[in-house]
Amino acid sequence: MPKGFRLKFTIEGVPELGRILLETHKKLESFRWPLWKASRLILADVERNFETEGGLVGGWQKLADATVAGRIREGYGGEHPILQKTGALRRSFYANVTKTRAFISAHSPYYGFHQSRGARKTKLPRRAMLVLPERTRQNIVEEFHKFVRFK
């Protein structure tokens, strides 16, 4: 079960960028700044996904009736907000950025069960929190373009 995901961008058909990268790669010792900005964009999407209950992935599956009843019994209210009974999962997301890598994940022990696409042994529905919408992808690429241009 993955605790995070790896971003890999392959840029094809952009010879100008290739030339710029070939000319400037020796000057670039650290990608910490654009990676930090990319991590902020991704974490903002995680927050937006919680605010909209999975709006970035078409909406999360509603809670089972038994789960709603259990929440009410425990004093947490009805079925909303999904995945936020105590708020611990939402608060557990973090980014770790180095010169060459940005790692985004959650400290929650059950984050991976909701995020995973893989076969599970439970009936827990997939409610992806950490996603990479096309808009965010484009913004990340633009941050790297700006970084390389101005370096």
Instruction: Give CA–CA dist 120/82, Å, rounded.
Output: 20
Tokens of 76: 């947490």
Return the closest-CA partner of residue 9 out of 150, 149, 151, 143: 143
Bridge partner residues of 106 (DSSP): 93
Q: What whole-number distance in Å separates Cα of residue 102 and Cα of residue 89? A: 20
Cα–Cα distance measured from residue 137 to residue 66, given in angstroms and rounded to the nearest whole number: 38
Q: Give residues with Cβ within 8 angstroms of 87, minimum separation 6.
A: none
* 7: number of Cβ within 10 Å: 16
pLDDT 10s per residue in the chain (151 long)?
445 545 555 545 555 555 555 555 656 778 899 999 999 999 999 999 999 999 999 999 998 898 899 889 988 887 778 998 889 999 999 999 998 889 999 999 888 888 887 755 567 788 999 998 999 999 999 998 888 776 5
Structural domain spans, the chain: 30-150
